[in-house]
């Protein structure tokens, strides 16, 4: 395989593995799906992680830490699809994007408010909010947008 990896294909493999399994694939699984050697799978993973796409590896490893909207590290943003909880969202805003990855499915987002510690719950389907508790949920980001990339936790 050349150094010109098909980043779209690698992205698709990782995203679909997250959707189906609830966690990130190892680079050997990526390699198997691509039909290449494990080392070429590792290089392909790093090529995607080095792209402008906002994903990252756990420091000094080949393990995917975050892959929007998914987090491979448990967060307070628990995602249920069809009543099954096996996904975590990268952040509160990314949790809302989960509904687009499960068309026609009821997606439930449960989290504790980072300010008050009170429970929050949102149900969505295909971009529509079906219910929200409390009904006054608001999002907040303490880092200016221009500094987001510089402040990725594992960048």
pTM of the complete model: 0.85
| Most distant CA pair in the chain, distance | 52
Q: What is the pLDDT of residue 153?
A: 54
- Give CA–CA dist 18/153, Å, rounded: 20
74-104 tens-digit pLDDT: 999 999 999 999 999 999 999 999 999 999 9
Contacts of 42 (CB under 8 A, 6+ apart): 27, 31, 62
For residue 43, pLDDT over 90 is answered with: yes
Average pLDDT over residues 109-122: 93
- State yes or no: pLDDT of 27 exceeds 60: yes
Query: Could you count the other beta carbons within 10 Å of the beta carbon of residue 35?
Result: 9
d(CA 50, CA 99): 27
Q: Residue 19: helix, strand or coil by DSSP?
A: helix
Q: What is the pLDDT of residue 146?
A: 74
Band (119; pLDDT cuts 50, 70, 90): very high
Strand residues in 25-106 grouped as ranges (E): 56-57, 64-67, 70-71, 78-81, 84-88
Confidence of residue 3 (pLDDT cuts 50, 70, 90): low
């Amino acid at each position: 395989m050349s150094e010109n990896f098909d980043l779209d294909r690698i992205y698709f493999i990782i995203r679909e593995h997250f959707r189906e399994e609830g966690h990130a694939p190892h680079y050997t699984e990526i390699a198997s799906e691509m039909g290449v050697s494990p080392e070429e799978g590792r290089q392909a993973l790093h090529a995607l992680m080095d792209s402008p796409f906002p994903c990252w590896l756990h420091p000094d490893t080949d393990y995917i830490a975050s892959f929007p909207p998914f987090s491979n590290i448990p967060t307070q943003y628990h995602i249920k699809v069809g009543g099954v909880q096996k996904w975590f969202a990268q952040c509160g805003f990314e949790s809302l994007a989960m509904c687009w990855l499960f068309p026609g499915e009821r997606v439930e987002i449960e989290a504790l408010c980072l300010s008050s510690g009170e429970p929050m719950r949102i149900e969505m389907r295909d971009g529509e909010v079906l219910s929200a508790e409390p009904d006054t949920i608001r999002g907040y980001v303490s880092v200016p947008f221009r500094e987001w990339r510089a402040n990725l936790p594992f960048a």
